[in-house]
Structure 1
Amino acid sequence: MTLRTSANRIRSTLLVGIAAGAVIAVPAHAQEASDSSAPKTVKTTENGETTIVVVAKNFVPAAAVTATKSDIPLVETPQSVSVVSRDQIDLLNFTDAQQAVRYTAGVFGENYGPDLRFDFFTVRGFTPTQYIDGLAAPASTTISTVGLDLYAFQSLEVLKGPASVLYGSSPPGGIFNETSRRADSQFGGEFEVKGGTDNFKQVASTITGPVSDSVDVRLTGLYRDRDGNPDFTHAKRVMVAPTATFHLGADTQFTPLFYYQYDKVTGGTEGFLPVAGTLESNPNGQLSRKTNSANPDDVYERHQWGAGYNFEHSFGPAFKFVSNLRWSHYKEETPYGVYDSGGFVNTTDSTLANYYKTIYQSNFTYREQVEAFTTDNRIEAKLGSGPIESNFIAGIDYRNIHNVADYGFAGFNETIDLYNPIYVPVEPTLGYTTRYNHQRVKQTGIYAQDQLGIGGFKLLASGRYDWVDSSYLTPYTLVTDPETVNYESSHKFTYRVGATYVTASGIAPYVSYATSFLPQIGTDSNTGNPFEPSTGKQWEAGFKFDGRSLGPGVKIFATAALFDIKQTNVVSTNPSAGPVYGTASGEVEVKGGEFEFVARIHNQLSINGSISYSDSTVLKSNTAAEIGAPLPVTPEYKASLFADYTISKGTLGGLGFGAGVRYTSSSAGSLPGFYNPVVYYGQAATLFDAAVHYDTPSWRFAVNASNLFDKTYVARCSGPAGCVYGASREIIGTVTKKF
């Protein structure tokens, strides 16, 4: 038996084992081959000289299924879309989605610092809805993301502006969609080990290949153990995502997908520090980023899984049927949640020892379970009549979501000196005593879209009609109280029209108009009627440039856009003696401009750059103090640039260096309210990143640093006791074995 034969048998045995464990799961339109599209290092010899080339052919994206649910190229899409491919994720060593949008225009991430649980970011002033493989993620009532690890995905796409015409209820700022890694017909994969600051430790692996002529499999898994920035905070994560692709003939493929993730965070999370000592001065000195205003006993625990499939069948070259489906389960629990809830005890008498030192603490417990079923089914048709070409889709999607959320609260039960903390053990008796959100939502939407092309001119028109029915128990009632069920129904038509002209040089000016809607839970305190959905609309105009025609080895894609978004029928609060009530009288506007580009030159030089300007304003509100205020975590300016160069020849062949700079202006941390008219901010910050790496065909060694000079800044202050520091310096070393 030869060594080659032995290795092949071991490889086949390994892949068969993966196939046996590849349970069904999450899906979407298959966009890219997996490892055949991932960065690969090639070693050649020319004229006696060794050349090392890191091939990353998808570093510069050409298409994004999120924007149109079809294969329409990005340059022809009349709406801004940012794509962070696996090539970019690997070469820039992004750990999570918050980091992945650092160099993306119009997207502001890490709003709550380096949170250990979720991915917090806004798109054009609004919190986006998360999609996984084209289907809505089972997000909880309070957080719009599920925190599924970035390592599970092949790409992250951000569609900016209203997206309801293809996805139903969504905010006017946009959505982001993550596409799972897929099985490949070529054997390949990696095993990597990471280690770094804050006791960061991670092992991860993905392996793929064929187990027969008609079946490809992949298994992706990760284990992470790390500390947070504050003292006593710690996080563990386990993630596994098996998948397979069954080629059922030349025209049919069936791709089951599955993911499971477990998270446990102890000691609290980032944030909830007082203003004095962070954003403002404190006579006792500046609070350290290590200061923990929570409690070492705090626990956050989460289990989530998704199972479904993607099915595609072609009826000849002109017609295709695509079906996506997923069942999802999401459960999070915080049995101990002590945090700084009231700020400093004494802010007036400087003769007392606790002057600007001792804070109030409360215990907020929370649990939520989300069960979701989602499916999307559509027909795609590519037709032509004379000089006119048509790229048409029509479909129907459906989602059924059930949320059950309860909480407990014990206010001002303890105090702690932030400058000399002595933590009191948490009493495990609070439980989850009060209903927060017991809700079932069913949404059905039918949609159609057509792109008509005559030469370089492309006209895109889309329309959709949605029916949304929800039932929910009255919130803020004891879980032991009798159940009172409330019902709400809404229906809405949304649309998008846009035109693009693609010139021979690759420059494509475009203009578009799109609308959105978002259902709202509750009853208007003025009319007594259920809230109508809020609605959004956006004008956008700009140009795109695809520079692949500049020559072999040159790939550039750039987008410049001006936009104006208005959201109406926004619920604003009313002052009252009891609970805070709302009325749908609000209106907000965000307008601005963005420029973004990605380039890869001769597989040596990679560049990511962006600059954006946002002007956000509350136009109408029932709370007078809000009128004229900017939207929270929406900086006026953001600019970023990262460049990376790899030496290809000589004794240093394979060695590369990268450097980047990111600037974000200050932004409001919250809206002013009738109880607190003060607006607190997050600070402006200029941060530097760097990387050094060495590649061979079988190995990659890399060290990446973010916030290289360890700048201390406040990312956000949402209130007098709601400040959080931005991420401190992070240095992570990575060793990757490629096969």
Structure 2
Amino acid sequence: MSHASRLFSGTALALAMLCPAHSSSAQDRGVETIETSENGERVIIVTSERYVPQGRLTATKSDIPLVETPQSISVVSRDQIDLLNFIDAQQAVRYVAGATGENYGPDLRFDFIQIRGFPPKQFVDGLATPVTSTIYSNGIDLYAFESLEILKGPASVLYGSAPPGGIYNQTSRRPKSVFDGEISAMYGTDDYKQLGMTVTGPASDALDLRATVMIRDRGAERDFVDAQRIYAAPAATWHIGPDTRLTGLAYYQYDEVNGDTNGFLPAAGTLLDNPNSKLPRSVNLGEPDYNRYERKQWGAGFEFEQDLGPDMGLTVNGRYADYAEEQRVIYAAGFTDAAMDTVYRNSYPYQEDVTSLTIDGRFHGKFDTGGIEHNFLVGVDYRDVDNDAPFGFCSPFFCPSGASVPDPINIYDPQYGLPAGFVTPPLDTVFTDQTLKQTGLYAQDQIAIGGLRVLLSGRNDWVDRTSFGTDGKQDEFTWRAGVSYVTDAGVVPYVSYGTSFEPVLGVDIAGDPLKPTTGEQWEGGVKYDARGLGEGIDLLLTAALFDIRQENVTSAVYSPVSAPVGSTQSGEVKVQGGELEFVARIRNQLAINGSYSYTDTEVVASETPQEVGAALPVTPRHKASLLADYTFQRGSLAGFGFGAGVRYNSDGAGSLPGPFNPIVFETGEATLFDAMLHYDLPNWRLAINGSNIFDERYVARCADANNCNFGAGRQVIATATYRF
């Protein structure tokens, strides 16, 4: 038995022993299952107060309702996550307008997400995470969070450096003052095994505790790949006084992925025809006994809340986090001859270490001035990040002295094995060497006059960055203004304008630090919260049109495998589109999620002539989805439910064109179907969830002719959850 299997079995036994023998109050619980009888007939009602979101802090860092926020925001609540059995954040955006995920297929390490054409920055509890320099994700497991909130459009006015497409924020599970929790077990496709537990409750009148743990052991769609993950998060809230609370939040996550190449398949045989035949989705062209990815990350932080009166308060939260990953991978890199059955292979070791300290403090309050209501916010945040990332590289055409060149491999009959004495290339090239200190001062006021709402926000950031030994100081001002009108029927039209900035890694041709990219967005739309439709009907609908412009976009003039040096910044990008999204839950029986996105992206200007007029990568012009789930409440079928969904993505560009990538591959068009069955009792939930149930074969992305990824195939997972 492997170490991972022994650990998995031991954890299963430990969680079983911890299972309490009693039930408790469902106060402050998102989902509650109640069993009664009426006239001798069995009745089971499953309530879900958080399925349809009402308000979240991400959009305004305040208690302004979502329907009054003049900017698009989507909230995927824990109730939605559990019903649809989303495993990671990139799955969680399947039914969200304006956001796409799984662009590299079922990646076992990161969450690859695009929002309105741009990769978003990731935040946890409102604080920036220590993400890698190449991927804006740290891969913390979705089981850790109560919700995933996607703010679309510029967010710099409250969060500092961020791309113009938006950000996503995840809210950690918090302690409660009532005993509550769950134990869940999952098993599914590709030997997917997972055990999770979260339990919370009062340790005393002044102290609430929570512990969340999860362990996963799984295979993959690719042959000879396995992955393990361990997550643990303690949390405690100290009620210092009736108006003072201090919450401590910590987490640790360990990841190990063995045998994976993370794609790197040839276009001929996946997206395009190959005279020999199609490649199976399970093909692995790496070295299963050599390829390895390992990541360790942890964080410890706090949230301090002080009520200063009925309508005023102070909130300060902070976190120190450490992120370390290393990998060694052998991957396919182009056909050796015209036979198109054998490919060269490259060797690529990589290592990255990121540490970050983030602090955000804000004073918020409400007051009236002559019939005008103000909901204001004043805050300051600070970010200190240190990032180091070296790599090595070896190919048949370039290899450092002493390193070994991997042998070619037949893509239809791969034979694995490295020669004795195989030497990995040294980590002697710097990809990232930078420190960043960012201080931001921001203010916001929502002015209410009757049904009219005016939101004004402004912020100034001071950035001090050292990159490749070169110091650079930057001073950026961003702002947002929006107007909305709240009608008695719950229809809220709005219009807004916002700006963003984002520091860019690297130096230009002269060796000077690159300037930040800047962005701006106009957005107009309407929101509807169905307040007039009667009791038992919850609905939030958002329709929006937007126009985004980004300037100071870099154009690399050297090989893409080199460090990010020697760039120019004359690029400009335009993104225009429209979105429709709704989430509904009707009489505790019917849940509906639907969305449609039209996103038109274009490179308007670039020092790379081939890029002008091109569309941004992995952003389909059309995305549509619809899901419905129904639960019986009476009779012999009481508590039983079923649902089905359909998702469509149109073609999207796999990359931008350029001197090293003259051909752009259009990929990703697919129509996929999901289905679910579930049975709820007061303490138990049994479910089977299937995604892409007809197992449609499609290519999620081809970044170039030698770097294609299959989209996620059929996944079926059975879940048993005991709630107490």
Indicate how the Cα distance of structure 1 residues 705 and 250 shifts in structure 2: closer, same or farther if over 3 A, else same: same
In 2, the alpha carbon distance for the partners of 1:117 and 1:87 equals: 24
In 1, the alpha carbon distance for the partners of 2:410 and 2:326 equals: 28
In 2, the alpha carbon distance for the partners of 1:57 and 1:248 equals: 29
Please, which runs of 5 or more residues in structure 1 have no aligned partner?
Answer: 1-10, 17-32, 348-354, 474-484
Residue 720 of structure 2 is aligned to residue 735 of structure 1: yes
Secondary structure of the structure 1 residue equivalent to 2:513: coil
Match of 2:161 in 1: 169
Asked if 2 retains the 8 angstrom alpha-carbon contact of 1:228 and 1:269, the reply is no
In 2, the alpha carbon distance for the partners of 1:521 and 1:195 equals: 42
Asked if 1 retains the 8 angstrom alpha-carbon contact of 2:183 and 2:723, the reply is yes
Asked if 2 retains the 8 angstrom alpha-carbon contact of 1:130 and 1:144, the reply is yes
Match of 2:544 in 1: 561
Q: 1:228 Cα shift?
A: 1.2
Residue 583 of structure 2 is aligned to residue 574 of structure 1: no
Asked if 2 retains the 8 angstrom alpha-carbon contact of 1:15 and 1:209, the reply is no
Indicate how the Cα distance of structure 1 residues 195 and 95 shifts in structure 2: closer, same or farther if over 3 A, else same: same
Match of 1:321 in 2: 314
Match of 2:304 in 1: 311
Describe the superposition over 1:537-561 as per-residue Cα deviations: whole angstroms up to 9, x where unpaired.
Answer: 0000000000133111100000000
Please, which runs of 5 or more residues in structure 2 have no aligned partner?
Answer: 1-14, 397-404
Amino acid at match of 2:367: L
The equivalent position to 2:350 in structure 1, one of 366, 371, 382, is 366
Describe the superposition over 1:203-232 as per-residue Cα deviations: whole angstroms up to 9, x where unpaired.
Answer: 001111111111111111100000111101
Indicate how the Cα distance of structure 1 residues 668 and 35 shifts in structure 2: closer, same or farther if over 3 A, else same: farther
Amino acid at match of 1:461: L
Q: 1:521 Cα shift?
A: 2.6
Match of 1:457 in 2: 452
Question: Quick check: 44-53 or 511-520, which moved more?
Answer: 44-53
Secondary structure of the structure 1 residue equivalent to 2:508: coil
Q: 1:488 Cα shift?
A: 1.3
Match of 2:535 in 1: 552
Describe the superposition over 1:5-56 as per-residue Cα deviations: whole angstroms up to 9, x where unpaired.
Answer: xxxxxx9x9799xxxxxxxxxxxxxxxx997232121112222222101111
In 2, the alpha carbon distance for the partners of 1:608 and 1:548 equals: 18
In 1, the alpha carbon distance for the partners of 2:498 and 2:695 equals: 42
In 1, the alpha carbon distance for the partners of 2:244 and 2:500 equals: 34
Secondary structure of the structure 1 residue equivalent to 2:408: strand
Asked if 2 retains the 8 angstrom alpha-carbon contact of 1:75 and 1:544, the reply is yes
Question: Quick check: 433-442 or 60-69, which moved more?
Answer: 433-442
In 1, the alpha carbon distance for the partners of 2:641 and 2:610 equals: 52
Residue 465 of structure 2 is aligned to residue 470 of structure 1: yes
Secondary structure of the structure 1 residue equivalent to 2:376: strand
Amino acid at match of 2:641: G
Residue 508 of structure 2 is aligned to residue 513 of structure 1: no
Match runs of 1:491-506 below 5 Å: 491-506=475-490
In 2, the alpha carbon distance for the partners of 1:207 and 1:91 equals: 19
In 2, the alpha carbon distance for the partners of 1:586 and 1:434 equals: 27
Aligned residues: 691
In 2, the alpha carbon distance for the partners of 1:418 and 1:231 equals: 13
In 2, the alpha carbon distance for the partners of 1:82 and 1:319 equals: 27
Match of 2:689 in 1: 704
In 1, the alpha carbon distance for the partners of 2:583 and 2:234 equals: 31
Asked if 2 retains the 8 angstrom alpha-carbon contact of 1:681 and 1:718, the reply is no
Asked if 2 retains the 8 angstrom alpha-carbon contact of 1:15 and 1:211, the reply is no
In 2, the alpha carbon distance for the partners of 1:423 and 1:433 equals: 27
In 1, the alpha carbon distance for the partners of 2:481 and 2:423 equals: 56
Indicate how the Cα distance of structure 1 residues 44 and 34 shifts in structure 2: closer, same or farther if over 3 A, else same: closer
Amino acid at match of 2:395: G
In 1, the alpha carbon distance for the partners of 2:634 and 2:31 equals: 18
Describe the superposition over 1:135-189 as per-residue Cα deviations: whole angstroms up to 9, x where unpaired.
Answer: 0000011111000000000000000000000000110000000000011111111
Match of 1:433 in 2: 428
Amino acid at match of 1:317: P
In 1, the alpha carbon distance for the partners of 2:497 and 2:115 equals: 17
Residue 280 of structure 2 is aligned to residue 288 of structure 1: yes
Asked if 2 retains the 8 angstrom alpha-carbon contact of 1:245 and 1:256, the reply is yes
In 1, the alpha carbon distance for the partners of 2:205 and 2:266 equals: 62
Residue 20 of structure 2 is aligned to residue 39 of structure 1: no
Match of 2:582 in 1: 597
Describe the superposition over 1:268-293 as per-residue Cα deviations: whole angstroms up to 9, x where unpaired.
Answer: 14310001001100011000100112
Residue 295 of structure 2 is aligned to residue 302 of structure 1: yes
Match runs of 1:63-82 below 5 Å: 63-82=55-74
In 2, the alpha carbon distance for the partners of 1:534 and 1:601 equals: 44
Note the aligned Cα RMSD (angstroms): 1.8
Asked if 1 retains the 8 angstrom alpha-carbon contact of 2:285 and 2:332, the reply is yes
Please, what TM-score do these two structures have when normalized by structure 2? 0.93
Q: 1:233 Cα shift?
A: 1.1
Asked if 2 retains the 8 angstrom alpha-carbon contact of 1:34 and 1:182, the reply is no
In 1, the alpha carbon distance for the partners of 2:423 and 2:372 equals: 69
Match runs of 1:336-735 below 5 Å: 336-341=328-333, 343-347=334-338, 355-412=339-396, 413=405, 414-425=407-418, 427-473=422-468, 485-525=469-509, 529-574=512-557, 581-735=566-720
Q: 1:250 Cα shift?
A: 1.4
Q: 1:236 Cα shift?
A: 0.2
Q: Report % sequence identity.
A: 54
In 2, the alpha carbon distance for the partners of 1:261 and 1:319 equals: 36
Secondary structure of the structure 1 residue equivalent to 2:271: coil
Amino acid at match of 1:323: V
Secondary structure of the structure 1 residue equivalent to 2:230: strand
Asked if 2 retains the 8 angstrom alpha-carbon contact of 1:34 and 1:184, the reply is no
In 1, the alpha carbon distance for the partners of 2:142 and 2:295 equals: 17
Match of 1:242 in 2: 234
Asked if 1 retains the 8 angstrom alpha-carbon contact of 2:467 and 2:506, the reply is no
Asked if 2 retains the 8 angstrom alpha-carbon contact of 1:713 and 1:725, the reply is yes
Match of 1:126 in 2: 118
Match of 2:220 in 1: 228
Indicate how the Cα distance of structure 1 residues 529 and 289 shifts in structure 2: closer, same or farther if over 3 A, else same: same
Secondary structure of the structure 1 residue equivalent to 2:147: strand
Match of 1:8 in 2: none
In 1, the alpha carbon distance for the partners of 2:26 and 2:140 equals: 19
Amino acid at match of 2:114: T
Residue 74 of structure 2 is aligned to residue 85 of structure 1: no
Q: 1:575 Cα shift?
A: 6.3
Secondary structure of the structure 2 residue equivalent to 1:293: coil
Secondary structure of the structure 1 residue equivalent to 2:59: helix
Match of 2:10 in 1: none
Q: 1:576 Cα shift?
A: 8.8
In 1, the alpha carbon distance for the partners of 2:27 and 2:651 equals: 40
Question: Quick check: 396-405 or 37-46, which moved more?
Answer: 37-46
Asked if 2 retains the 8 angstrom alpha-carbon contact of 1:703 and 1:732, the reply is yes
Please, what TM-score do these two structures have when normalized by structure 1? 0.92
Indicate how the Cα distance of structure 1 residues 693 and 576 shifts in structure 2: closer, same or farther if over 3 A, else same: closer
Describe the superposition over 1:497-553 as per-residue Cα deviations: whole angstroms up to 9, x where unpaired.
Answer: 00010100000000000000011133332x654321110000000000001331111
Asked if 1 retains the 8 angstrom alpha-carbon contact of 2:347 and 2:424, the reply is no
In 1, the alpha carbon distance for the partners of 2:296 and 2:514 equals: 33
Asked if 2 retains the 8 angstrom alpha-carbon contact of 1:115 and 1:269, the reply is no
Secondary structure of the structure 1 residue equivalent to 2:636: coil
In 2, the alpha carbon distance for the partners of 1:14 and 1:735 equals: 16
In 2, the alpha carbon distance for the partners of 1:434 and 1:528 equals: 17
Question: Quick check: 45-54 or 537-546, which moved more?
Answer: 45-54
Secondary structure of the structure 1 residue equivalent to 2:205: coil
Secondary structure of the structure 2 residue equivalent to 1:244: strand
